[in-house]
Structure 1
Amino acid sequence: MKVARISTLVVGLALLALAEAGAQIRINSPGKVAERQAENRANRKIDQTIDRGFDKVEEGIGNIFKKKDKTAKEEKNDQKGTSAESSEDNTGGGSSEGRASGGTSTGGKAVEPAKPTLKAYSKFDFMPGEKIVAAEDFAQDAVGDFPAKWNTNASAEVVTIDGYDGKWLMIGKTSNASYIPEFINALPENFTLEYDLVYNNWNKEYAYQRRLLTTLHEVQDASQQINRDAAGRGATFAFDGKMGNGSVELVQTNKSGNYTDLRGINDYQPINPDNNGKVFHVALWRQKGRLRVYVDENKVFDFPRAFPTDIQLSAVRFHADISNDEAQVFISNIRLAVGAPDTRSKLITEGKFVTTGITFDVNSATIKPESFAVLKDIAATLTENASVKVKIIGHTDSDGDEASNLALSKKRAEAVKEALNKEFGVGSDRLQTDGKGESEPLTPNTTPEAKANNRRVEFIKL
């Protein structure tokens, strides 16, 4: 009878462990790195769970499947534990067979995590630069390859993740690894750097490091001291997963790439295991000596003296320290833009304002919430100049079908009109719309930067 109970225990716990190990972020990569990691993780969980089960049997805790009487407090605690466990199950993962949706799960069907709305960004004051000078979405790179325009002292590969747009650079277990976009070689006095970040299998264990650092620094050679997160004067921003909630950190660096005492840390609550699979939008904004850093709608740092007056920033470096086998971090949609848009002057004085700061989901007229500050600035200009009417014109790049791009550009212009009216109270009778599709590019659609600049919204004073 005891053998039968133990056999039942082994089978039951093995099935539970397999269910717990089910992946939600699924990566399409020829290397199948993530698939092997998921299999190893499942096997380890089965072994650990079975061992715990045998321990309980040997200690005389029999009939573990029998329902026991519980107090109201115990029931409540069990419900909370179940909720947290379900959340972790739904957002963990890492298998790579084929393509399937990423994010949270509903009835076995995975769906992308809920996206924030424009209203969530109501205090967001980030203004992206006027002209995009560098862009990276890895479109030109083959899945499974390391990106051609980058350098590293480690390894990583371009992947696609089901349920998420585009391609991503996947960084797995690594130590003191730098990833350098060599096409960025000048960072002027006024610029913005933005990118999207997703992490996977970040758990609550102290033993592991999970850090992605972004460094802006002054170096003669971008690969100088490549095994460190910085090699010269500048600033380093760290996105750090820790036990439970994680943190973000901003540190000034000196000539040797070492940290100075100008250092800040923010226990940023959203970095936690429940947000495995969430897309975080990171933005860094330099204005001469000042550096502001945003994660999603939150301004997490604002250093007025981050950079010395004589600094010549020349390179960007992403640096990773990830010490457990299953953990991964993904980055994409990198965008460097220069110059500060002057909405008021250009629209009212010059009669035309063009912005790439109003962005949309891929092949969609849904406005991304990080566009809030740009829309707010335009609305303020129109509110201050109550007699002014404008025509909103949408433009796309040349990817895709010409007719579809024309229709999309018109829908995007309408979406901007609706946002200005409903979110900011600008009268719809003052706003006309049109779309030009891909027919009026600013520059040929031959590079990621050119395409990003061609995806724009124009406001023409009537």
Structure 2
Amino acid sequence: MKNPTLLLIMILCAGMSAHAQIRINDPGKVVERQAENRANRKIDQAVDKGFDKIEEGIGSLFKKKDKKSKNDGESQTEQTDSETNTGAASAASSGDAAPGTMPKPTLQSYGKFDFIPGEKVVAMEDFSQDAVGDFPAKWNTNSSGEIVTIEGTEGKWLMLGPDGVFYPEFIKSLPDNFTLEFDLACTSEMSYYTARLRTVIAQVASPMEEFGHWGTYNGYKKDAVEVGLHPKDAGGDQGNTAFVVFGGQAGQEFMQNEKSFPAFHVPDHNLVKVSIWRQKTRLRLYVDDYKVWDLPRAFVPETKYNFIAFANGGYSVESDRYFISNIRLAVGAPDTRSKLITEGKFSTTGILFDVNSANIKAESYGVLKDIAGVLKENAAVKVKIIGHTDSDGDDANNLALSKKRAESVKEALAADFGIDKARMETDGKGESEPASPNTTSEGKANNRRVEFIKL
């Protein structure tokens, strides 16, 4: 497979390989070749503004990493969900990172992370069904954008064009309790003057009528909540900014937080995981393991939120670009204590693992901490931990993998949270007991779960 090196502001012209990957080191050099391939582009001016310059062979935004073997266990669909090479570049990471790779976060490095995803996945988007070079089929926009790959990362990304709103048409209602997670990347030399990338949660009647050309929600209405991220603050190139705008009965509120998110200002690793948690009126926002906001009254109870979008107010430098991927929407407020102690069974999709591996991902910390708390409060309770997979891959390998993952959860609860191993048994069911049909990404995500059965 050919993987020509591209600058981050560019896309392949017609006739070049559809499997190109994005690479960038010095966006400033782009200006020298702005018109190099404009004649080959036959799309509207909005696309031309940012996507019509090609450069080969200059560095990379994400340095190449060795890819893991995919000869056993679950398929690429699961791999996209269960391993996304993101996270904070934590000092508590075990061992030194290989040159050009992110130090891998550990459960210990996420010790203050209390995010717990919703109990049922209702929407997932990893763009696996879309071709590189296309705008995703299940999305809409008033701007432009396309699917790309980024060297050194798994899966596909949506590269956002200038001055616009980008929204998944398949999300049509949002309950009082939900979680939204996604990966966010940007170019290595992002301009301070480029607008923040906004995540909009709103009640709308007609999305394209209510959102302006510049990607800003008109008037910050009380039926919308926005959170925004930018990789640099007003002080220069070592900080980040985050803001939230939310509506209320007395008007709108605007709050700002300046925090250096390690992964979001290192030139070779401008990539973070964003987690948003709504509980009725409460809003929590996390970037990697850092809790940016915990606001008790951000959402309006009477508002029927039905819309999620990513709004880009414009790139100051044409080489700037935002990218999003691995979007996961889950609903329901997990009640671990009630389900495990009263009902005798608790199931979670919030414990994630590396690809074809029993290694637990660091962002699982909040769920594990919650389960450990219930077990500590009920010292006489014993549990059986059961791993499950989706139906992709070999049956025998999936069965073995599910057993290993259950054992890893047991070891983590013992080593990191002090739960006596004698209180925990393990087992694995592989793909034999699906919770949902294995016909959609959402169904497969709900089948990749860990159950706790009260003994």
TM-score (norm 2): 0.76
Q: What is the CA distance between 1:199 and its match in structure 2?
A: 2.0
The residue identity in structure 1 corresponding to 2:226 is T
How many angstroms apart in 2 are the aligned matches of 1:413 and 1:45? 55
Q: How far apart are the structure 1 equivalents of 2:6 and 2:22?
A: 12
Question: Residue 358 and residue 26 in structure 1: after superposition, are their counterparts in 2 closer, same or farther (change >3 A)?
Answer: farther
Tell me how far apart the structure 1 counterparts of residues 311 and 245 of structure 2 sit (CA, whole Å).
Answer: 14
Are 2:440 and 1:447 equivalent residues in the alignment? Answer: yes
CA distance in 2, matches of 1:95, 1:280: 13
Alignment equivalent of 1:115, drawn from 93, 104, 110 = 104
Give 1:194 deviation, angstroms: 0.9
Answering whether residue 198 of structure 2 is matched by residue 213 of structure 1, we say yes
Instruction: Answer yes or no: is 1:93 the counterpart of 2:43.
Output: no
Shift in Å, 1:328: 2.5
CA distance 1:373–1:32, shift in 2 (3 Å): closer
Residue 433 of structure 1 pairs with residue 426 of structure 2: yes
Structure 1 letter corresponding to 2:217: A
Deviations 1:332-380 (CA, angstroms, capped at 9, x unpaired):
1111111111111111111110001111223322212121111011111
Higher relative contact order (CA 8 A, sep 6+): 2
Asked if structure 2 preserves the Cα contact closer than 8 Å seen for 1:134 and 1:184, the reply is yes
Check 1:277–1:170 CA distance in 2 against 1; reply closer, same or farther (3 A cut): farther
Structure 1, unaligned runs of 5 or more:
1-20, 47-90
Matched residues in 1 for 2:102 and 2:378: separation?
A: 40
Which of 325, 338, 347 is the aligned partner of 2:340? 347
Query: Measured at CA, do residues 158 and 30 of structure 1 come closer, stay the same or move farther in structure 2, by a change above 3 Å?
Result: same
Post-superposition offset of 1:209? 0.5
**Structure 1 residues 26 and 220: alpha-carbon distance in aligned structure 2, compared to 1, 3 A threshold:** closer
Q: Which residue of 2 aligns with 1:190?
A: 177
Shift of 1:45: 8.7
Name 1:404's counterpart in structure 2: 397
- Counterpart of 2:283, as a letter, is L
What do you get for the CA RMSD once the two structures are aligned?
3.4
Aligned residue for 2:115, secondary structure, equals coil
The answer to whether the 8 A contact 1:155-1:171 is kept is yes
Q: What does the per-residue CA deviation read over 1:42-79, in whole Å, with 9 as the maximum and x for residues that have no partner? A: 47699xxxxxxxxxxxxxxxxxxxxxxxxxxxxxxxxx
Contact between 2:126 and 2:326, CA under 8 Å: does it hold in 1? yes
State the alpha-carbon separation in 2 of the partners of residues 394 and 184 from structure 1: 29
Q: 1:364 to 1:313 in 2, by over 3 A?
A: same
How has the CA–CA distance of structure 1 residues 322 and 360 changed in structure 2, closer, same or farther, with 3 Å as cutoff? Answer: farther
Q: Do the aligned residues in 2 keep the contact of 1:347 with 1:461 (CA within 8 Å)?
A: yes
Percent identity of the aligned residues?
51
Match of 1:264 among 255, 258, 264: 255
TM-fit CA distance, 1:23: 7.7
1:170-219 CA distances to partner (integer Å, 9 max, x unpaired)?
225x1x2111011111111111111111222234x54x305211000011
Look up the equivalent residue of 1:164 and give its one-letter code. Answer: T
Structure 2 match to 1:30: 18
Q: Distance in 1 between matches of 2:316 and 2:253?
A: 27
1:385 aligns with 2:372: no
CA distance in 2, matches of 1:371, 1:160: 26
Q: Is contact 1:124–1:297 with CA below 8 Å preserved after alignment? A: yes
Q: What amino acid maps onto 1:166 in structure 2?
A: G
Are 1:237 and 2:222 matched, yes or no? no
The alignment status of 1:313 with 2:305, answered yes or no, reads yes
Displacement after TM superposition at 1:120 (Å): 1.8
Alpha carbons 2:6, 2:20 under 8 Å: kept: no
The answer on whether the counterparts of 2:248 and 2:299 sit within 8 Å (CA) in structure 1 is no
1:40 and 1:201 map into 2 onto residues whose CA distance is 8
Map of 1:101-140 to 2, 5 A cutoff?
A: 111-140=100-129
Distance 2:186 2:261 in 1: 12
Is residue 279–residue 333 contact of structure 2 (8 Å, CA) maintained in 1? no
Q: Point out the more displaced range, 417-426 or 191-200.
A: 191-200
Q: What is the aligned partner in structure 2 of residue 159 from structure 1?
A: 148
Distance 1:212 1:281 in 2: 13
Asked which structure has the greater CA Rg, the reply is 1
1:416 positional shift = 0.7
Give me the whole-angstrom Cα distance separating, in 1, the residues matched to 2:154 and 2:390: 17
For 2:148 and 2:404, how far apart are their aligned partners in 1? 30
Question: What are the ranges of 5 or more consecutive residues in structure 2 without an aligned counterpart?
Answer: 34-57, 68-84, 90-97
What is the CA–CA distance in structure 1 between the aligned matches of 2:129 and 2:165, rounded to whole Å?
21
Instruction: Note if 1:249 corresponds to 2:236.
Output: no
Q: Secondary structure at the match of 2:208?
A: coil
CA 1:185 to 1:119, structure 2 compared with 1: closer, same or farther past 3 Å?
same
- Normalised by the size of structure 1, how large is the TM-score? 0.75
Q: 1:336 and 1:171, CA in 2 relative to 1: closer, same or farther beyond 3 A?
A: same
Aligned mates of 1:315, 1:44 — CA distance in 2: 37
Written as runs of structure 1 = structure 2, the 5 A alignment for 1:408-419 is 408-419=401-412
CA contact (8 A) 1:24 1:110 kept: no
Give the 3-state SS of the residue equivalent to 1:223 in structure 2.
helix
